[in-house]
Structure 1
Amino acid sequence: MSRNGQRTPRYSAWSLVRHGLGAGGEWGRAFRHHTPRQAYDVVIIGGGVHGLATAHYLAENHGITNIAVLEKSYIGSGGSGRNTAILRSNYLTPEGVRFYDRSVKLYEHLAADLNFNVMFSQRGHMTLAHNDSSLRTMHWRAEVNKLQGVDSSVIDPGEIKKLVPYMDVSASTRYPILGALYHPPGGIIRHDAVVWGYARSADAHGVHIHQKTEVVGIDVTSNRVTGVRTADGRRISAPVVVNCTAGWSTLISDMVGVDMPVQTFPLQAAVTEPVKPFLDTVVVSGTLHTYVSQTDRGELVFGASVDPFASYSTRGSLDFVEGLAGHVLELMPALSKMRLLRQWAGLCDMTPDYSPIMGLTPVEGFFVDVGWGTYGFKAGPVSGEAMAACIAHGKPPEIIAAFGLDRFEEGRLVGEKGAAAVGH
């Protein structure tokens, strides 16, 4: 039973064993199929972690349940299923640190809140410094983090070697490691579990989740949203429409005449064959534009910065693999014999200051939760919680007040490039 009295499925340990052995019958559906209603109180465009979390917290915290989540593909098919599932809160600005720290705290209790194992492993997050400039930035970030109550500190090469024995910390390398920003609360999570956990909970509250339902238009009358139109010819009335898309955020906002200072870039990643666990910490190098972590299955997950050109392509490239392999081997030469299994790409909406755009817009009833760059999955819970409060009360809560669209016109940028350019 969830906190508002809605029933969610629960399984005993014995019933899980029986299902695993094929003797427990059919598993119950995580969420139901509904015929779309003609009207909802809130329509959320985008069935990723942000859209589903917003629906969950609207129902859980504010009692608003007449909600439709519209996803043009299947839930989690966009950025929520194409990221590398790294969580952290060691950002650069006070606004960013407070915001992402709240998200980490929500993630820490998410499995219990949703009654769904999201497999959050707080194994620590390490950002390497290869030159004096990078080391100064790490000290800067550490002090900002500490002032906000976040556990971060700069460690030396000896401490790095203890945490990651396979790391080459010698002075003879091409990119010597001078130190690192170490953030113990950081870690990795199962992104598909987070998506399904929020979907399951939202459905239990009465939210309608509509997959394969593409929005092709948003109706506006007298500068106020009145509903949406879908590719199958439906018109769904709603006084509130929320843009929770990634990759397509500007296209959705254009439907109501709201311009977004966003460019879309592919972000590539790759995964190796599984091996015995040896890498407990997430390792990031901004200088080498790479990061690596190991999953609970033993695979190494690699990534880099966004591609240098705007595109909607989600295909991997040979150039990315070659560059990535070379940089990873600079850090850990012992990985040279490992085989790469697959690669993929996701779409990242980058803003000029590397911070998101959240809250109200000039069109009444049209809300946005977009511009997440390479760091949107980290912010799923806090974004859903904050956007739900913004919709319910008609004004942004303090935790997202700095991320409003009007900051670009007024010159109140929240510059996160120093902590989010590689951003993992």
Structure 2
Amino acid sequence: MATRSKSKRYSAFALLRHGLRPSQDWPRAWREHDLRDRYDVVIIGGGVHGLACAYYLAANHGITNVAVLDKGYLGGGGSGRNTAILRSNYLTPEGVRFYDRSMELYRNLAAELNYNVMFSRRGHLTLAHNDSSRRTMHWRAEVNKLQGVDSSVIDPDEIKKLVPYLDTSPHTRYPIMGALYHPPGGIIRHDAVNWGYARAADALGVHLHQRTEVTGIDVQGGRVAKVRTTRGDIATGAVLNATAGWSSLISDMAGVRMPVTTSPLQAAVTEPVRPFLHSVVVSGTLHVYVSQTDRGELVFGASVDPFTSYSMRGSLDFVEGLAGHVLELMPALSKMRLLRQWAGLCDMTPDYSPIMGPTPVDGFYVDVGWGTYGFKAGPVSGETMAETIATGRPAELIGSFGLDRFERGELVGEKGAAAVGH
């Protein structure tokens, strides 16, 4: 016992000593570079989509003369403001296949990047509070099964076993009549994903430029020619717009109109408590979702604010509505304290599906329109957009998500699985 105690003291002091080392002794995760006057590919947006695309361009296609530009810091936009819930139980076959590939990449991402992204498989529950919702859950479950995705509809007794703190009694205002259960769903550490992709892309030769705002995109003869920034101009033949809530503004610079509106999405977190919630719980009827982090905090969210705006300020109205709906599901949480709230920007499309691939401007690509569910798609979006840029042809998985689908009227309606389906 004495030896073990001595070992523990030594480990504690070693950890403390390591933590107090001067910061300049720590190696940088990625480097800073001077801005070149030409890159083969310029990616606008340093979130998970832009970083993943840069990594897969280098790793899968050998294209390393790539610049990632962000007006702030890497992962500081929607990729750092989301609730990092992962799932693939969508409504359309196209969506299910797409997000299931992302889940596959996420499960192996720590080994791929040699970076602990803290993936935690929890199981995902989408609650049904009426007959109509339960019918939709059965529909989604069958679509999922046809695509080889593990989803099923379970009854209140099974729900209670998974989440004992849920009020599954029939006497509540919104009784729980069942749920779509998706065992592969879970959570991940969003910062770790961003940092892992950034470090891996940098190691392959990609240039990551923070505090570099794009001010214009020059188009000559129907083709991208130059990107103008606050640090100088960049000549390039390929530009990817991966800027989420700001995507319509960037596309306007290239003369490409996007059917996208931007709205705030708010979230909040409680004080940390002992882990008790081992599943992700979502209620589309109550417009709320909740999960518990590895640190013990409860993370709550709702649907997007009912207005378009670029504001990222929290509101009292959101907190009041959120608290009321959470307590209808789990009354035992009434004593927990809310610590903070935040907001991010969501780029919403008419059919709640993304817009991916080429545009009428040659060399100008988009990876936008992600609404409230972009982080789930980070790896697969990066992989498929890298393939699209490298080959000049839309990758098979994103064939249904092209901008021209709105002209053809071939929408990919995911509202039933994406509106609050976190």
The alignment's TM-score, normalised by the length of structure 2, stands at 0.95
- In structure 1, the partner of 2:87 is 88
The structure in which a higher percent of residues are helix is 2
Kept after mapping to 2: 8 A contact 1:129/1:135: yes
Query: Displacement, 1:22?
Result: 4.2
Query: Displacement, 1:17?
Result: 5.4
Kept after mapping to 2: 8 A contact 1:135/1:180: yes
CA deviations 1:96-139 (Å, max 9, x no partner) are 00000000000000000000000000110000000000000000
Which blocks of at least 5 consecutive residues in structure 1 are unaligned? 1-12
- In structure 1, the partner of 2:75 is 76
Matching residue's letter, 1:236 = I
- In structure 1, the partner of 2:407 is 409
Matching residue's letter, 1:52 = L
SS at 1:247 equivalent: helix
In 2: Cα distance, 1:166 partner to 1:315 partner: 31
Q: How does 1:113-132 map to 2 (within 5 A)?
A: 113-132=112-131
Matching residue's letter, 1:274 = P
- In structure 1, the partner of 2:354 is 356
In 2: Cα distance, 1:20 partner to 1:318 partner: 42
In 1: Cα distance, 2:197 partner to 2:421 partner: 24
In 1: Cα distance, 2:306 partner to 2:98 partner: 28
Q: 1:239 aligns with which of 237, 241, 244?
A: 237
In 1: Cα distance, 2:70 partner to 2:158 partner: 46
Q: 2:382 aligns with which of 377, 381, 384?
A: 384
1:331 aligns with 2:368: no
- In structure 1, the partner of 2:149 is 150
Kept after mapping to 2: 8 A contact 1:18/1:24: no
Kept after mapping to 2: 8 A contact 1:44/1:67: yes
Query: Displacement, 1:247?
Result: 1.0
1:199 aligns with 2:198: yes
In 2: Cα distance, 1:220 partner to 1:78 partner: 27
Query: Displacement, 1:246?
Result: 1.0
In 1: Cα distance, 2:421 partner to 2:197 partner: 24
1:59 aligns with 2:68: no
CA deviations 1:138-173 (Å, max 9, x no partner) are 000000000000000000000000000000000000
SS at 2:224 equivalent: strand
Query: Displacement, 1:408?
Result: 0.2
Query: Displacement, 1:423?
Result: 2.5
Q: How does 1:8-407 map to 2 (within 5 A)?
A: 20-22=18-20, 26-232=25-231, 234-407=232-405
Which blocks of at least 5 consecutive residues in structure 2 are unaligned? 1-10
Identity of aligned residues (%): 78
SS at 1:113 equivalent: helix
- In structure 2, the partner of 1:4 is none
Matching residue's letter, 2:145 = K
Matching residue's letter, 1:64 = I
In 2: Cα distance, 1:394 partner to 1:98 partner: 22
SS at 2:345 equivalent: strand
The structure 1 segments of at least 4 consecutive aligned residues displaced by more than 3 Å after TM superposition are 16-25
SS at 1:248 equivalent: helix
Query: Displacement, 1:27?
Result: 1.8
The alignment's TM-score, normalised by the length of structure 1, stands at 0.95
Query: Displacement, 1:370?
Result: 0.3
Query: Displacement, 1:23?
Result: 6.0
Kept after mapping to 2: 8 A contact 1:135/1:179: yes
Query: Displacement, 1:18?
Result: 8.5
Kept after mapping to 2: 8 A contact 1:40/1:68: yes
Equivalenced residues, count: 410
Kept after mapping to 2: 8 A contact 1:52/1:202: yes
After TM superposition, the structure 1 stretch with the greater mean CA deviation from structure 2, 353-362 or 24-33, is 24-33
RMSD across aligned C-alpha pairs, in angstroms? 1.4
In 1: Cα distance, 2:15 partner to 2:27 partner: 15
Query: Displacement, 1:231?
Result: 2.1
SS at 1:265 equivalent: strand
